């Protein structure tokens, strides 16, 4: 725990005029006020406000802000009052503590309307004095650093709140160092497996890139030295959450992740920034579309820098950020870099309530615009929507013709929009107008688009839509609607079969007769029975018998729309007419124990595929060809083909080892081919005959354990 004199020394090191007596008094007051209170970790509670104060000294904030940090919980958690704080420490500090006390009572993870009102209160308090935000963010940062000590449910709630509100707010105010740390800690708490995976990959890439990084730094320094440009160069590793967000945004896998360092070049003046850019682009080829000049066009949070990406040594992509020392300070500290401790007295005299430099920053002006907007809007939901639009740059906000706002992930299209309005709107969607113009449904939406969805009662969403949408709601609704459509088609076929059989029997039936028969079969709905009949899972004789309709042997034969050959099959599966020819897809094979589906081809019969076969993607928009199949009960004494890919070392005896293992496992090789041949490895395509998934699993495990076999995988087609 930081000692009293250490805190005073930290503040006076950057603010020689700081009131040391005030700092000492606040330290003692807070320590006594919190007394024997403990945190969830078991540490004395006073360590928390002390750590918050220490974080703020890193940003060189004025003594009043440090005092407010020490006192920020005393009114909330002790017997102290705002009036007492004002009498001891003055009105300025009392106002800061009062603002922080009100914020601490807010619970932002609530229903939307309440969340909007709470966020409104938060920004109102911050707009009165931006130092309130500095303390609040430091408070949240230390709480997140010790988040492991709270129970899991609360940990996830606080982490989600941090990711939704506080981290974006820190970034919007330009305080990127705090934003990045908040994001990483929240990411680790919410997605521990993903965090560990990304962190491990970053460690691997760091080890692989060690020498290259030093080489790039050295070569860049030499080039700038030749042009007499004095610069500080250092590589900065990307943070886990930043990497994860990029992977999600650009649909990258971990294996595609290669660049984890962004090099910063710090120079004295803006002119030298452009000189460095010229040297870099003359030395290495630039990557098109990866250049941004934020010096001439600063971001809304005052961020200034030149960004460029070049193809550096060893044909490695090198990201460069070129800026001055002042720009770098603002990039890391945002509004906190505007020197509160220098002008706080002038600000107090002017009655503004904030320091003059902070008041002139773009980030602070953004905050003031939000507060002005609040005064012109009585609708807290509207305020929340507007604020989120400003905070979350990875979201798109579009509007219905009535003006309702719909929030969607970046990259969403009109189909996502339709399902976000209502599931029925999405299911019946046939077209759209964006900003009054007819456009394709797959067009990616942009912020501010007005989207009108055109619907039709006759529409059923195609299965292929699922692959074009990005929202979970749209995907699940399309999947559900597709299943219902397929069920309806099979039910129609089933009714046709049933009517045909009853007609041939010379009988009649009423809907009530069928309903009672279905109940006697143990099914809930008539369509369930008819769909099962259409699929071949239920015989028409079963239904007719419970309806007390007597049929002869001819009538009992299942009705089909067309005769498809006379060939029968020895493949034991359920869910299909036995008169239809069956074959197993040769590209993958299929074995009992794994889930299978059938694809019907008129004139050819049914091809059996394992559910993971890539070939099935070609039939996603043809749901009427899909048939649910299941393995029969008498499959144990037969063998079935499975195609596997085996990579072996280029060593004597490797192929013999493969055949030996397969023989020892009592399996048979139906076909073996060498697909590719490299210097060190052979890639073998093998079709083995096994009696089921357990047999295949044991076989593949045996192959993997062999010394000369590198890998074994199931072919997906």
Alpha carbon distance 157, 144 (integer Å): 12
Contacts with 405 (C-beta within 8 Å, 6 or more apart), sequence order: 385, 397, 398, 399
- The tokens describing 108, both together, are 């932002």
76 included as an active-site residue? yes
Report long-range pairs for 371-377 (Cβ below 8 Å, ≥24 apart): 371/123, 371/124, 371/127, 374/120, 374/123, 374/124
Residue 335: phi and psi, rounded to 5, are: -65, -20
Closest among 526, 553, 558, 560 to 540, alpha carbons compared: 558
DSSP H or E stretch at residue 675: strand 668-677
CB 555 within 8 A of CB 505: yes
CB 445 within 8 A of CB 419: no
Among 37, 109, 42, which Cα is nearest to 73's? 37
Tokens 């052979």 correspond to 682
Rounded Cα gap, residues 327 and 288, in angstroms: 25
513-532: buried (b, 16+ CB within 10 Å) or exposed (e) per residue?
Answer: ebeebbeeeebeebbbbbbb
Q: Which of 19, 43, 77, 332 is catalytic?
A: 77
- CB of 19 within 8 A of CB of 63? yes
For tokens 């070939």, name the residue. Answer: 615
Q: How far apart are CA 439 and CA 214, in angstroms?
A: 51
Give me the DSSP letters along 527-582. HHHHHHHHHTSS-HHHHHHHTT----TTTTSPP-SS---S------EESS-TTS-E
Distance CA 713, CA 685 (A): 10
Give me 39's structure tokens. 């945190």
Nearest of 604, 612, 567 to residue 587 by alpha carbon: 612
Q: How far apart are CA 498 and CA 652, in angstroms?
A: 65
Based on the residue annotation, tell me whether 98 is a catalytic residue of this protein.
no
Dist CA 5 CA 664 (whole Å): 77
Under 8 Å between Cβ of 601 and 625: yes
For 499, the 3-state DSSP assignment is helix
The rounded distance, in Å, linking the Cα atoms of 477 and 423 is 7
User: Are the beta carbons of 172 and 386 closer than 8 angstroms?
Assistant: no
Q: Around Cβ 35, how many Cβ atoms within 10 Å?
A: 10
Q: Which one is catalytic: 19, 43, 76, 452?
A: 76
Task: Kindly report the length of the chain.
Answer: 717
- Triad 95, 96, 101: Cα angle to 5°: 95
Q: What span, in angstroms and rounded, lies between the C-alpha atoms of 138 and 66?
A: 11
Query: Distance between alpha carbon 670 and the CA centroid of its chain, in Å?
Result: 44
Helix, strand, coil % in the chain, rounded to nearest 5:
50, 15, 30
Contact of 47 with 39, CB cutoff 8 Å: yes
Catalytic positions are 76-77
């Amino acid at each position: 725990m930081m000692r009293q004199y250490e805190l005073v020394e930290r503040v006076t090191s950057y603010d020689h005029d700081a009131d040391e007596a005030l700092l000492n008094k606040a330290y003692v007051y807070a320590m006594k006020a919190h007394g024997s209170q403990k945190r969830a970790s078991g540490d004395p509670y006073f360590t928390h406000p002390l750590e918050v104060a220490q974080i703020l000294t890193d940003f060189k904030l004025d003594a009043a802000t440090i005092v407010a940090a020490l006192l920020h919980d005393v009114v909330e958690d002790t017997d102290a009052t705002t009036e007492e704080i004002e009498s001891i420490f003055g009105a300025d500090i009392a106002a800061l503590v009062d603002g922080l006390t009100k914020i601490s009572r807010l619970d932002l993870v609530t229903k939307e309307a309440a969340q909007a009102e709470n966020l409104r209160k938060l920004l109102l308090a911050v707009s009165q004095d931006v130092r309130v935000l500095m303390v609040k963010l430091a408070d949240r940062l230390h709480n997140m650093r010790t988040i492991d000590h709270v129970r899991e449910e609360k940990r996830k709630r606080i982490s989600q709140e941090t990711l939704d509100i506080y981290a974006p707010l820190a970034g919007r105010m330009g305080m990127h160092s705090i934003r990045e740390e908040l994001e990483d800690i929240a990411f680790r708490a919410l997605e521990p497996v993903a965090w560990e995976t990304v962190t491990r990959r970053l460690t691997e890439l760091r080890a692989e890139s060690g020498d290259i990084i030093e080489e790039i730094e050295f070569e860049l320094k030499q080039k700038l030295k030749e042009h007499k440009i004095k610069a500080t160069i250092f590589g900065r590793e990307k943070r886990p959450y930043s990497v994860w967000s990029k992977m999600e945004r650009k649909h990258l896998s971990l294996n595609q992740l290669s660049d984890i360092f962004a090099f910063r070049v710090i120079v004295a003046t803006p002119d030298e920034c452009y000189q460095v850019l010229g040297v870099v682009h003359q030395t290495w080829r630039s990557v098109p579309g990866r250049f941004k000049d934020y010096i001439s066009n600063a971001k809304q949070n005052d961020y200034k820098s030149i960004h460029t990406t070049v193809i550096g040594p060893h044909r490695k992509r090198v990201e460069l950020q070129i800026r001055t020392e002042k720009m770098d300070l603002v990039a890391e500290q945002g509004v906190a870099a505007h020197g509160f401790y220098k002008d706080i007295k002038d600000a107090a005299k002017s009655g503004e309530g904030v320091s003059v430099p902070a008041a002139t920053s773009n980030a602070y002006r953004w905050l003031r615009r939000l507060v002005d907007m609040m005064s012109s809007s009585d609708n807290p939901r509207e305020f929340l929507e507007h604020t989120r639009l400003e905070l979350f740059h990875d979201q798109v906000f579009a509007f219905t013709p009535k003006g309702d706002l719909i929030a969607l992930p970046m990259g969403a299209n009109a189909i996502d929009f339709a399902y976000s309005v209502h599931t029925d709107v999405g299911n019946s969607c046939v077209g759209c107008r964006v900003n009054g113009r007819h456009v394709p449904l797959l067009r990616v939406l942009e912020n501010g688009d007005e989207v009108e969805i055109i619907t039709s009662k006759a529409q059923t969403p195609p299965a292929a839509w699922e692959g074009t949408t990005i929202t979970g709601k749209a995907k699940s609704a399309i999947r559900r609607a597709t299943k219902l459509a397929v069920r309806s088609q099979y039910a129609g076929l089933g009714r046709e079969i049933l009517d045909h059989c009853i007609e041939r029997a010379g009988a009649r039936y009423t809907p009530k007769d069928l309903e009672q028969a279905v109940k006697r079969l143990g099914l809930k709905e008539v369509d369930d029975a008819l769909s099962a009949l259409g699929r071949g899972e239920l015989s028409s004789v079963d239904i007719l018998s419970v309806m007390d309709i007597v049929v002869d042997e001819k009538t009992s034969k299942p009705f089909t729309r067309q005769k498809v050959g006379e060939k029968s099959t020895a493949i034991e599966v359920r869910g299909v007419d036995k008169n239809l020819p069956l074959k197993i897809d040769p590209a993958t094979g299929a074995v009992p124990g794994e889930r299978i589906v059938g694809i019907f081809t008129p004139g050819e019969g049914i091809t059996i595929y394992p559910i993971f076969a890539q070939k099935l993607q070609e039939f996603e928009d043809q749901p009427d060809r899909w048939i649910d199949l299941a393995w029969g009960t008498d499959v144990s004494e037969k063998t079935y083909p499975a195609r596997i890919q085996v990579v072996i070392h280029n060593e004597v005896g490797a192929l013999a080892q493969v055949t030996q293992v397969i023989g020892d496992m009592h399996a048979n090789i139906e076909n073996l081919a060498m697909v590719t041949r490299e210097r060190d490895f052979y890639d073998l395509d093998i079709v083995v005959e096994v009696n089921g998934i357990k047999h295949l699993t044991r076989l593949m495990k045996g192959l993997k354990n062999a010394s000369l076999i590198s890998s074994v995988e199931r072919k997906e087609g």
